[in-house]
Each structure stands twice: as C-alpha cells, then as structure tokens.
Structure 1
Amino acid sequence: MIRRFLALCVMLAVCAAPVMADRLKDMAKVKGVRNNQLVGYGLVVGLDGTGDSAPFTNQTFRNMMNQFGITLPEGVNPNLANVAAVTVSATLPAFAKSGQEIDITVSSMGNADSLRGGTLLMTPLKGADGQIYAMAQGSLVVGGFGAGGQDGSRITVNVPSVGRIPNGATIEREVESPFTRGDTITFNLMSPDFTTARRVVEAINERLGPDMAYAHDATSVSVRAPRDPSQRVSFLSILENIEVNPAESSARVVINSRTGTIVVGQNVKVSPAAITHGNLTVTIQENPEVEQPNPFTDGETAVEPNTQIAVTEDPARMFQFGPATTLNEIVQAVNQVGAAPGDVMAVLEALKQAGALRAELIVI
C-alpha cells in the first residue's frame, strides 16, 4: 500500500512539473520566407580632409563628373581629400514592397581616415542576380572618431571608417516569394531532430485534424494549406503559435580552447573511471656571486654563477566517477579537486579517449 502511494506521489509530481514548450515560430522558419543581401559601390563626399587617395576613387570621381557633362583634362588628378570610395550593404527583408525604406551600412574601401560628416551619393544596390533592388543616399551616422597631433601621435575610438544611414535606401524592386504557391506550407526546423519533427506533426494534427501535417525528414515538416492568400495568412498565424515540446538535445561537451570556456550538456554521463591529475612546477633562479681578489695581488674580479633549480609538484588527488554519472556529479567532483579550466579540458579529453565520456566532445 505504501509503495503504491509513493508511486502515485511521483506520478503527480511529474504531471505537475512545468513543461518547456516553444512556439512553432520560435523553432522553425517558413520555407521561401527569407532575407536577401544587397551590395553597392558609391562615393561619400563632404568629408573634412579625411578622404582616401586610392586610384579607383579618382576613376570613379571622373566617371561621375562625365555623367554630369563635365570632362576633366587628361593628366590632371584632382585632390580628393574630401571624397571616399565606399561599399554599401543592406538586407532586403521578406515581403518588402516598393517604396519602403531599409537601413544601410557604409564602409570605406580605401585609406580614408573617417567618414564622419560625409554624405553618400545616389548608389544602386544589387542582389546576387545582378538586378537593382534599391537606391541608397543620405547623410552618414558614424559612431567612431579619431584625433591626431603634429608629432604623429593619434588616438582612435571605435571604427570611424564605417557608418550607417537609417532608412537610407528605398526599395525599387520586389522579390517574388513562393509563399502563395503550392498546396502546402513547409517549416524548416532551426535545430534538426527526428523527435522534434515528429512532435511538430503530432501537435499540428491534434490542432487542425488528422493527416494535415507530415514530416519529410529531421528538418522539414509540410502542412496542407489553402490556396487563397488571405486565408493562408490567417492559417499561418494559427500554425506559428502552436506550442511544441522540443526533444532533448544530444549529449555534448563544448570546449573553447581560446577562452577556457567549457559547457557540459544536461545529458552528458560518464562511465566508471578513476582520475588523478597533478601540476608540476619547475623554478629556475640565477644568483650570480662576485668574487674579489685579495689585496695587493694580480688577481681579477670574477663572477661565479650560482643556479638554483626547484621542482614542486602539487599533490595529485584521485577522484572516481561512478556509473552513469550526471552533470551535477561531474561539477561537484571537479570543484572538490579545485581543477582549473585547463585541467578540466585535459580530464575530459582523457575520458573521451578512454571511452568513459558518453558524449560528443567538440573543441572550438
């Protein structure tokens, strides 16, 4: 009777435990709904003597003047200290329409000291297909600055050769989206997992009816959708707010060898193993001794070397991992021996080589 009561208490505790559910919109992206990168080349003018002296800046300036009907004499190189050649980059959002404005980033291509106070002239922004999708122009906002003295000393804060123009580009061409085509809408999971894909299918079918959703693989889940675009928008609004319990991630240990950061996943376990780890310190100290000759002799002053070498080894403490050791037990064992991040890396790598670490070891 007591055992049944305890089992019932455990079942109630499990049922009462909060479930970490995520919305589908936070777990997956709709196939075909994506951003597109744009890039362009232009000139920034109006600088206070902080422009560049690159040959392509001079060539670009000549071409621009020719478009305005002004021809510069051959062999004459204008002083372009107030002009800089730049690249302009932007991101074209999904479903962006003609006439809308987007932010742009302007970066110097030559040896310009600063773009502060400059104005970007009209610059076409092209996509990967070579088509023009936006036109950029406006005054730059530069967060960095620099200052220098006559003796050559200089100080720079942040990066003055890069600036931004909020709403600096106007969209001229729309990107056709496959969102309204076909009989299905496909979701691509951000973290591919077979269990998560199955749970997504089950959650959608439970909400909308049987056989409404099906999984292609560990990443893609398709849902039957109406063809009418207005109905499809409402339909997708319902889908993206469905809550799904994602599957637990695979057991991993991630080590950053540059910073010493170690992240141990929740499902990491260690088979029975005994570990000992100690530090060996070698200290070499030079104490030269000067020897003077006796008075009224022909001797010379000599320096006798005196080297002292000391070897110190910290006591190596052995600790043991039991079968199926959990993350909490691993942390407690490491803290008890006072191991540094470098020592923990060595221990984890040794455990992996010994076959005792039941997890994927990733070094970044």
Structure 2
Amino acid sequence: MSGLFGAASSASNMANAVGDLGKDVTLANGPEDSISDLAFNPNPADAKDFLAVASWDKKVRIYEIQPTTGQGEGKHLYEHDAPVFSVDFFKDGTKLVSGGADKMAKVCDLNTGQTVQVAAHDAPVRAVRYFEANGTPMVVTGSWDKTVKYWDLRQSTAAATLACQERVYTMDVKTNLLVIGTADRYINIVNLADPTKFYKTIQSPLKWQTRVVSCFTDAAGFAIGSIEGRCAIQYVEDKDASSNFSFKCHRDPPTNNQTNVHAVNDISFHPQHGTFSTAGSDGTFHFWDKDAKHRLKGYPNVGGAISATTFNKNGSIFAYAVSYDWSKGYQLNTPQYPTKVVLHPVQGDECKPRPSVKKR
C-alpha cells in the first residue's frame, strides 16, 4: 500500500481504479491565458447547462453545453480591467458574479447582457460567492486586502465587513456555511445566519500554504487542499472531530528517496453523491469517497496543470481547466503551454460512493 488513501493493493484493483479520458471533449474558442475558475449554473429547473470560465486574459466567457455532443457554444463574454480570479452563478442561473485583480466584483445579467460593478476592495478580489440571506440575494467577496465583505445588491456599499488575519486565498459557501482560507494557514468558519463574526477559527491541519477550501454538499464540513500534495477533510462541529483526517495526493512515485509533490489546485464535490475530486499541478485528477477513505478513480496526465474544476448541477459532467497555474514561477509560462477547458462525461460508478459504506 502507498501513502495515498485508497491506493489499490493489487494489480487488478489498480487497473479498475484508472479512469478513461477517451470521451472527454475540449471546448472550442477557449481563453487566451491561464484559467482561474469554472462554474456551472446550478438551477435544476434550467434544462440547459451553462459554464462560466474566468481567465487571466481579463475575460469571463459563458458557454452553453450541448447535451448530445458535449460541445460548448459561446453565449456571452464580458471583461474586467485585470485578470479575473473567481466566478459564481446565482441560484436561479440568470446572473453571474465575478471578481479579479481590478479590485472589484461585477454581476452580469445573462438575460440582458448588462454588467454592473457591485463590490470594491483595496486589493484584488480573490474569491466571490453567491448566497441568500432570508431570501435576499447576496454576494460575498474575499480579498487580498484581508477582508471579506457582504453585498446586498440593492445598495452600493458593503452590508458588512469581516476583518481576516491575512489575505484571502480561497473561499466557499454551501447553504449557511462560509469557509475562508487565508495566508498563514488560517481557516475561518462563518455561520451565514450570523454573518458578522467567525463561528470558529482553526489553523489548517496541513503544514503548508492553503490553495483551496471546498464545502461538503451537506455543509457539515469542508475539504482543504494545499501546495504540498495533501488534502484534509474537516468537520465543522467538535462532536464530529473524530472523522477529521488528511491524506497525501498528487505526488510522483519516489525516486532515489525523493518524492516530487504538487499543489492541489481545486477540489469539487459531486452534487448528488457527496464524493469529491482533487486536481493538481501534476496534470491529474482523482475522485474520492471521504466516508470510505477510498480513491474511486485516478486519471492519466492531461498534458498540463489542472487549474480549476467543477461539476454541473446533476453531476453528469466534470469540467476541468488545463492551463499554467504559476506553481513554478513566471519563467515556465511559455506560449506553448496548453490552455483549454475540457468536459469529462461522468459515467457509471466513477463518482458513486462505495456501496458497502453506510451513509452518515
């Protein structure tokens, strides 16, 4: 057994654990620079799948995904004044919020094509998320100015501001759970029913810089990915602390007693099964079952770092972005580096939990 949880102990199991990229489809007319974020429209009443792509080329692109071919058709494009770092759909799928290095967040109405600025910070906006407070549409923004701000879209000033210990690197929301990952490995947990204070603050159980936090589908906890090829599963409540654990991933096989480790760039939870993906600088992605502590599938190298991932609303499509992720400095960001968005059709039991495990 290797240090990877769920690593297969026999050759036959190992073969079953290798996933197939043969049906993956690359989107045409993709971004011209590194891809920072992906988001699908979440509205189950919308029969169509729309995918938003945020990029360092200062643009947000929205594609309609064709269900029969998997091809994407460009539907809309709008721009920021600097690289775009984060994007998220509103619950009904008709609007989109984005934030970036121009220190602002914008909301685009996909029905009218109009874009308005809704938020401002003193430094780049690293993360944006949509949520609802008592039925009111809200946007939360996290910035390198060490603040998280809440925005009621009916007013031009922040509804509230949370001061963080350090720059905000990553952020996620699920129902009333807001998780904020900052520099110096702080993880702030907020109950959005009481949004102006931290419900709990912990230091990341991982020893190195936090790259991503991602909330469980049931909002009982979250996963953390770091730059040193590790992922942590963390529950919000102390009564569940015995279920917390971390594991190694996105590491090359050791050679000469040395192991190359790679950043975990994104973690996405399957909306129905509650299983999750990790994707990294090593150009691979994996599907995991946290309750069984088991790796479901690992996939071959896709030819470049995977910088962002997301599932569509019913979990039938897994989108991943192949682009330079800056983990090796600007010198290696060459014009030849691949930049593309790829759609992976989720088939069979790829993301299903192990049947022998009782659900929580």
Tell me the TM-score range normalised by the shorter chain: under 0.3
Larger Cα Rg: Structure 1 or Structure 2?
Answer: 1
TM-score normalised to structure 1 length: 0.18
Larger fraction in strand = 2
Larger fraction in helix = 1
TM-score normalised to structure 2 length: 0.18
